[in-house]
Amino acid sequence: MPCELILVLDAPSPREVTPTLKRLAGTVRWVKIGLEMFTASGPDCVREIAGLGFEVFLDLKLHDIPNTVARAVESVSRLPIGMLTLHTAGGREMMAWAVRAQQQSAPGLRLLGVTVLTSMGGTELNETGVAGTAEHQVVRLGRLAADAGLRGLVCSPREIAPLRASLPSEMTLVTPGIRPRGAAADDQTRVMTPAEAARAGASFIVVGRPIFKAPDPAEAARTILVELGGQVAEVR
């Protein structure tokens, strides 16, 4: 399976990104809506972005008691989304409840477990009481997620290879922390280029600022797609 590109929408309102999205139509198929836009604009932002013809990855990183997360999955699955995140640190039972809710409410929805945030390294993990390296923690949480029934994870590109060695081959791996050559790392600490992530086994890469800040966002996106070895997508 070729590695696909997901564009991050780092803005509080769809209005701020719509002009750029219209320029990217026919190039980028997937977009990621995170907490900033969802909390500022509400569920309607998902409908508005999906109405432009994009597939939506809703990155809410759900983390609560099992029943609350399950109900949240049921609720949000009514929106036009293709992917949804939860924190694997919530534990086996929370993830299992979320999987059951997803299977009953939206069988086609990809439920992704977030392992270790790409802004965190070994020092930050140690400060929270987690011993060992980021890679060790990612693999441990990835195995737990797979045992709980998840079939997708969000992880740093640096942990793609060890996860591929430890988990079923059908596991979807979505990787932020992607920076084209010459781009600033910003607040990410564990990064790779698009080509490196694709070779390591990423299913999707997540890119935001290097596209939105480019003089020509569509050309920046096409350059990344070429680096991935893929074709420019036909947005449905």
Residue-wise pLDDT tens digits, 111-155: 999 998 878 888 898 898 888 888 999 999 999 999 999 999 999
Catalytic residue among 22, 32, 61, 213: 61
pLDDT level of residue 85 (50, 70, 90 thresholds):
very high
Tell me the percentage of the chain whose pLDDT exceeds 70: 92
**pLDDT for position 191:** 65
Q: Is 61 a catalytic residue?
A: yes
Question: Quick check: pTM over 0.85?
Answer: yes
Highest-pLDDT range among 21-25, 30-34, 217-221: 30-34
Are 110 and 83 in contact by the 8 Å Cβ rule? The answer is: yes
Topology at the third CATH level for domain 4-228: TIM Barrel (3.20.20)
Q: Is 113 left (phi over 0), alpha (psi -120 to 50) or beta?
A: beta
Q: What is the average per-residue pLDDT within 203-210?
A: 93
**pLDDT for position 232:** 45
Q: Which two tokens stand for residue 33?
A: 């809506």
Q: Is 34 left (phi over 0), alpha (psi -120 to 50) or beta?
A: beta
For the chain, give every domain's residue range: 4-228
pLDDT tens-digit readout, 159-172: 999 999 999 999 99
Q: What angle do CA 235, 17, 40 make, to 5 degrees?
A: 120
